[in-house]
Amino acid sequence: MLGWALTFLIVALVAAALGFTGVAGAASSIAQILFVIFLVLFVIAMVARAVRGRPPL
């Protein structure tokens, strides 16, 4: 998931550099959404690991 967010971030940066503002805006929005989803899933995984008795990373 983090890989997809980084991919869309790179697409957004390249599109912005070339002047494709619509594509850059869409790609950056997708990258932000994927990054937030990744963070939420990461926190859930760490909480689940702590509840099971194992210390978080």
Domain spans in the chain, listed from the N-terminal domain onward: 2-51
- Compute the distance between CA of residue 45 and CA of residue 32 in angstroms, rounded to an integer: 20
Mean pLDDT throughout 32-42? 92
pLDDT value for 12? 86
Is 36's pLDDT higher than 80?
Answer: yes
H helix runs in the chain, sequence order = 2-18, 21-51
Mean pLDDT throughout 14-31? 86
Q: What is each CA distance from 5 to 15, 52, 57, in whole angstroms?
A: 15, 29, 22
Mean pLDDT throughout 33-52? 91
- Compute the distance between CA of residue 28 and CA of residue 24 in angstroms, rounded to an integer: 6
Q: Are 5 and 38 in contact (CB under 8 A)?
A: yes
